[in-house]
Chain A
């Protein structure tokens, strides 16, 4: 194991990590505002991946160009999910809401299984095997493109929350639910919008990650857990923390696969999840909520 291998692993982990971070942003936004733990996270991501796959098959569309389409479609799915389903269980204890979303998650996974079958399918891009070489450092082109796309989408999201009126209103709901109601914000609509935005983010991440991995329905639970690891490492509800967590998990997974067997690298991130849950359940950048 020489320095070049390690640096290569570091860079590719960093790039993949940005995509993880984008996907985790979706989870974090939904949790931070609606206080719902979206257990159907990875499932929505797999839906995004399959959408991008279909667009590629039918129209030869590069997954990067289908990002806006997938994001728009998943926005509608998320909006509907919050408006028609999740809103109705807000009076139930947390674990019942969790179970509801677990039920929805199973429906999505098995729906994908029925429609697309269990086999792994991917897109064949003409630049899939190209890479940039900087000295000894070799970086896959797809990874670079994926990371750039992830940064673009994440920046758009952060700008939206920081500067737009709707974004500010959503932050107001997250900070003080009662206060937001008192000043006359339509909290139900804002919640549905938030879920939609979160889902759009997840859909975009799904399109982008299709550049790097092949899609099959059973990816969904794995991605759900991965996003939880990322978000918990970064701090639930902290947007910047999600990106940071994504990079950390991406890098540590790559490093783990250099040191250990590649198939053990998921065990490594579950181990990390356990450690983080125990030592810092509010995450690295999260605040303690009381």
Chain B
């Protein structure tokens, strides 16, 4: 807070008020788009923790989400275990996977792009195994039971109820992830992470336990992704290995932080709230174009949207590799220049 200018504080307060009040003013459509925004903001925060803070590129984060989703979904459909308890299993299994990848990767000193390949390899490996796991539905999918009654009211224990409830759940998660990352980044561990990110040899030379802090980053990030998996399972109610763990999902998770700014705290949130509505507008625009007969009816909307994502990533890396958020901050004078900061 102390680093913010008056404009910055006003913007922050306006944002918080707007986010809290949204379900009362917005239509169901805007609310569901906002849920996706917040979900991607939350996941972006988790992913950014690894690349932005600790310098570890993962292109397999959908794996942790998928494991969390399948763990809680399976427990719920098979034994009726509520997600409140299922989340523990989801986090445990996601962290276990993170621990395996991290341990192998760091013990065998796999760094940079090779580490990214390791995450992809694990994620695809598990996806194909899930395709063949009959007890989890395989390619036919795992469906969580939904009734008309369960779409009403508020049942937080079972994560069943109005769309508004899902909105607040993911809002709390996203805000919590932001505050957690903020606390970590400004604390001792944040400095360790950034030292390791910028120069691992130097960090090791001054006595930072690289292995331990990298592991910590992976565990935390995968655990957070596991929680997101529970939300995913109970919001969408159907799980297909291709859709939950596909490499497109992993790339989608990376978009918001890249656009907002890798390594910034607010970047993932900003990126998610810029990209998702843009994608929706684009989808809308294409269906209008189809209606007017300008482009063919059989053009795949998904394809055009994906093309736009790819273009955005390429453009950001080419023109603003530090992301949009630092630039916006500076332009709108939301943050005090480094010289004028207090404590």
A residues adjacent to B (C-beta < 8 A): 37, 85, 88-89, 92, 94-100, 102-111, 113-114, 117-118, 221, 225, 228, 232, 261, 263-264, 266-267, 270-271, 273-274, 277-279, 281
Contact = CB atoms under 8 A, between A and B. Distances in A.
- Nearest 10 CB-CB pairings of A with B: A106-B310, A103-B313, A110-B306, A107-B310, A103-B314, A113-B303, A267-B128, A114-B303, A110-B307, A100-B317
Interface stretch (B15-23, B77-85, B112-120, B162-170): B112-120
A277 B116 contact: no
Given A88-B318, A96-B317, 19 more contacts: A95-B57, A95-B113, A98-B57, A98-B113, A99-B317, A100-B317, A103-B311, A104-B310, A104-B314, A110-B302, A113-B302, A114-B303, A225-B121, A263-B131, A271-B125, A274-B104, A274-B121, A277-B114, A278-B108
A216 to B, nearest CB: 12
Contacts of A270: 121-122, 124-125, 128
B159 interface: no
Best-surrounded residue of A37, A114, A117, A266 (most CB of chain B within 10 A): A114
Interface of B: 51, 57, 59, 104, 108, 110, 112-114, 116-118, 120-122, 124-125, 128-129, 131-132, 247-248, 251, 254, 258, 262, 298-300, 302-307, 309-315, 317-318, 321
B114 A95 contact: no
B121 A106 contact: no
Contacts of B303: 110-111, 113-114
The binding surface of chain B is classed by DSSP as helix
Nearest to B56: A95
Contacts of A102: 59, 251, 310, 313
B307 A103 contact: no
Contacts of B298: 117
A110 B306 CA distance: 6
B321 A92 contact: yes
B318 A281 contact: no
B306 A106 contact: yes
A100 B251 CA distance: 12
A37 B116 CA distance: 11
B128 A264 contact: yes
Chain A binding surface, main DSSP class: helix
A97 B113 CA distance: 10
A182 to B, nearest CB: 28
A277 B110 contact: yes
Nearest to B298: A117
A105 B309 CA distance: 11
Contacts of A96: 262, 317, 321
Given A106-B251, A267-B128, A278-B110, A273 B117 contact: yes
A232 B313 contact: no
B304 A110 contact: yes
Contacts of B310: 102-110
Nearest to B109: A281
18 contacts: A85-B318, A95-B51, A95-B112, A99-B313, A102-B251, A102-B313, A106-B306, A110-B303, A110-B307, A114-B300, A225-B124, A263-B131, A271-B125, A273-B117, A277-B114, A277-B117, A277-B121, A278-B104
A100 B318 contact: yes
Contact of B117 (A100, A110, A118, A228): A228
A178 to B, nearest CB: 22
B139 to A, nearest CB: 9
B299 A114 contact: yes
Contacts of B247: 221
Contacts of B307: 106-107, 110-111, 114
Contacts of A95: 51, 57, 112-113, 116
A184 to B, nearest CB: 29
A175 B309 CA distance: 36
Most chain B CB atoms below 10 A, which of A92, A94, A110, A277: A110
A89 B251 contact: no
